[in-house]
Structure 1
Amino acid sequence: MKAALALACLLGTASAQSVLLPESMKDEVAGLTKEHPTLKFDFYGSSRDAKEKIAAAEGYIGSPDEGLLEAGTKLRWIHISGAGIERFAALQKIKDGSVTLTNFKIQQGPEIADHAFALLLSLTRNLAAFQRAQDQGAWGRNDARLPMIELRGRTLMVIGYGGIGTQVAERAKAFGMKVIAIDPKDLPISQTLDRSGKPDELDELLPDADVVVSCVPHTPQTEKMLGATQFAAMKKGAYLINVSRGKIVDTDALVKALQEKKLAGAGLDVTDPEPLPQDHPLWKMPNVVITPHVAWASDQRPDRQDELVLTNLSRFARGLALKNRVDPAKGY
């Protein structure tokens, strides 16, 4: 009885953690207040609604702007709905670290890695040409203009060995490929990684790659890191797959490398500019497959993301370090 009374007193004097969430999350978080009585939830239905309610919030699930941050004088934590933070890194309270930022990095690895290989296989197995033949009701075997390539024994380079890059490496190994990773971190050799290098070793290692997959976030350091110099360093007949950000690639240099047949093909879920103008040459190239920035989509993605948000709400209530914290200075 004394212990129960002491706990009640403790909970009664504990300060509440107020979090502002989208109205769509009402059902998902309903049980958390029983587990964590200090959590207090409010919900918004629009960005205007959020700005009107943000003054009382210490946590916010959504996309902030300077106006919301200025009004949110009590804010300590913001969780954004995507993985890229380009739109938010320069916001003052995020930039100076007074508000902790978390995102869905790592969570999107499985579906984006699947998509990277869908793009690659569309090129190496000539699926785009066969799809065009199917649209015409033609058998199409004699119309194939691209070679049919086997991946086994070839080398795949992953640029950015994080939540997406490690998943790409796993799939590459399943296809019997060798894997090279480019990443600022020191990476241990493992069953899914044969070699690794730092970003300043990219040009040196590119000639060994049959496939190059960009998985890096867009930062000032990574913008146009794949340009004319890098395409010149790549072996003739290599493939480029970009499932990260369009600005990682110098688009004009990519077009030239494809036109000069230095590259065998490119699979692009992201482009620069995005979307491409209707008259852009990449649309018409038979050795290019373009998807409209949809690699993140997955039937299982919502469950993983809900789990992360609920975990972080619980950790926020208990004063624990949050998962998936972003370093604004690094850009990821």
Structure 2
Amino acid sequence: MKAVLAFACLLGAASAQSVLLPDSMKEEVAQVAKENPSLKLEFYSNSRDAREKIATAEGYIGSPDEGLLEAGAKLRWVHVHGAGVERYASFAKIKDGSVTLTNFKIQQGPEIADHAFALLLSLTRNMAAFHRAQEKGAWGQNDARLPMIELRGRTLMVIGYGGIGTQVAERAKAFGMKVIAIDPKDLPISQTLDKTGKPDELNELLPEADVVVSCVPLTPQTEKMLSTAQFAAMKKGSYVINVSRGKVVDTDALVKALQEKKLGGAGLDVTDPEPLPQDHPLWKMQNVVITPHLAWASDQRDDRQDDLILTNLSRFAHGVTLKNRVDPAKGY
């Protein structure tokens, strides 16, 4: 990358670039500012402060609303925290391409993939039941209605083979599983993948899967991608794991499939609605594990994300294409 940036400098690509960042990043960006004198970094303490300063900014790091973008007359780049961009992709300046949007896709793969397997293993090894027994100080016996399942030799389908899906597939292979990937891209068969399919082949391939993991972004094409027809196509006793967006799964159809014992269980880090109402039936199901949309959390997350922001600040200063660009038309 240094060679690319040096070449850009020789071409004169670097001119004064104003970027508005949160106060919390002052220490992290000090070195990149020193190495890139053309960067003019300003900082904001809250959303009101950001709105007062956005008029002169060409770049913005944070979570803007559409009003902030409209007030930023000079904005050319916005970096948002997180991987999902459904709330930003429809903003006028993002949609028409006048502002480049980048995010943390790919960076969040390791921790979210870990979490997907934490949810899966909680179900296949009946960990929730044992934890309930532990809380009572009881030497709990396994509930025969929730059998102990071995993953080796089973088939996992990952829907969405991006930064998260690839990490899920790697972990599945480490457990001795076969892997099917569903993705719009053309994917080669590899040591990680045994079979691939397009989204229009989902229903055809679902009967082969013992575990289905949703890793897709929320777009008009993926909303309720897993609904009545898909649950009907799945093996009896199979598992659904959702670490993407709650609206990818039709909640009512999921509840019905669980009640009718079509599915063996569900592990949900995201739900629709979110959070679930206290009286929602999913809370009471013994074969459902729910976590409060925190699969992104990790002790190493901040370092990876800081590295991306620092890299993109340098690239922005020198007019080089930014990493992790989002295609607003695709929604990821």
TM-score, normalising length from structure 2? Answer: 0.95
Q: CA offsets per residue over residues 132-159 of structure 1, 9 Å max, x none? A: 1111111011545410000000000000
Check conservation: 1:62, 1:79, Cα contact below 8 A. yes
Structure 2 counterparts to residues 71-220 of structure 1, below 5 A: 71-141=71-141, 143=143, 145-220=145-220
Which residues of structure 2 form unaligned runs of 5+? 1-9
Residue in 1 that maps onto 2:5:
none
2:263 is matched with which residue? 263
Pairwise CA distance, 1:64: 1.5
Query: 1:119 is matched by which residue type in structure 2?
Result: L
Structure scoring higher RCO (CA < 8 A, sep ≥ 6) equals: 2
The farther-off stretch of 13-22 and 86-95 is 13-22
1:22 and 2:3 aligned: no
State the 1:65 CA deviation: 1.5
Deviations 1:181-234 (A, max 9, x none): 000000011100000000000000000000000000000000001000000000
Contact 1:258–1:265, Cα closer than 8 Å, also in 2: yes
Partner of 2:68: 68
| Cα distance in 2 between the residues matched to 1:169 and 1:250 | 24
Q: Write the letter of the residue equivalent to 1:209.
A: A
Please list, as runs of the form range in 1=range in 2, the aligned pairs for 1:231-250 lying within 5 A after superposition: 231-250=231-250
Rounded Cα–Cα distance in structure 1 between residues aligned with 2:28 and 2:143:
52
Tell me the amino acid that sits aligned with residue 330 of structure 2.
Answer: K
Q: After TM superposition, list the pairs within 5 Å mapping 1:268-283 onto structure 2.
A: 268-283=268-283
Q: Say which is worse superposed, 254-263 or 58-67, in terms of deviation.
A: 58-67
Q: Secondary structure at the match of 1:240?
A: strand
Deviation for aligned residue 1:31: 1.3
Contact 1:129–1:145 (CA<8 Å) still a contact in 2?
Answer: no
Q: How far apart are the structure 1 equivalents of 2:117 and 2:216?
A: 16
Compared with structure 1, are the counterparts of its residues 13 and 321 closer, same or farther at alpha carbon in structure 2 (3 Å cutoff)? Answer: closer
- In structure 1, C-alpha distance between the alignment counterparts of 2:58 and 2:143, rounded to whole Å: 61
Q: Which amino acid aligns with 1:217?
A: P
Q: Find the aligned partners of 2:310 and 2:45 in 1 and give their Cα distance.
A: 20
Q: Structure 1 residue 226 and structure 2 residue 226: aligned? A: yes
**In structure 1, C-alpha distance between the alignment counterparts of 2:201 and 2:97, rounded to whole Å:** 31
**3-state SS of paired residue (1:141):** coil
Q: CA deviation at 1:86?
A: 1.1
Which position in structure 2 is the counterpart of 1:253? Answer: 253
Alpha-carbon contact 1:269-1:294 (below 8 Å) kept: yes
Distance 2:188 2:259 in 1: 38
List per-residue Cα deviations over 1:212-261 (Å, max 9, x = no partner): 00000000000001000000000101000000000000000000000000
Distance 2:330 2:321 in 1: 19
Aligned to 2:39: 39
User: What TM-score, normalized to structure 1?
Assistant: 0.95
Could you report, residue by residue, the CA deviation over 1:292-326 in whole angstroms, capped at 9, with x for unpaired residues? 00100000000000000000000001110000000
Cα 1:139–1:46, aligned 2, differ >3 Å: closer, same or farther? same
Shift of 1:15: 3.0
Task: Please give the root-mean-square deviation of Cα atoms over the aligned residues, in Å.
Answer: 1.4
- For 1:129 and 1:76, locate their aligned partners in 2 and report how far apart those are by CA, in whole Å: 52
The residue type equivalent to 1:224 in the other structure is K
Q: 2:291 — aligned with what?
A: 291
Q: Percent of aligned positions with the same letter in both sequences?
A: 85
Question: What CA distance in whole angstroms lies between the structure 2 residues aligned with 1:12 and 1:83?
Answer: 33
Do 2:126 and 2:142's aligned partners in 1 also have CA atoms closer than 8 Å? no
Superposition deviation, residue 32 in structure 1: 1.6
| Alpha-carbon distance change, 13 to 129 in structure 1, aligned in 2, over 3 angstroms | closer
Residues 126 and 144 in structure 1, CA contact (< 8 A), matched pair in contact too: no
Could you tell me how far 1:63 is from its partner in structure 2?
Answer: 1.2
Q: How much does 1:91 deviate?
A: 0.7
Cα distance in 2 between the residues matched to 1:156 and 1:125? 16
Unaligned runs of 5+ in 1: 1-9
Q: Give me the whole-angstrom Cα distance separating, in 2, the residues matched to 1:14 and 1:249.
A: 46
Q: Which has the larger radius of gyration?
A: 1
Q: Distance in 1 between matches of 2:84 and 2:252?
A: 24
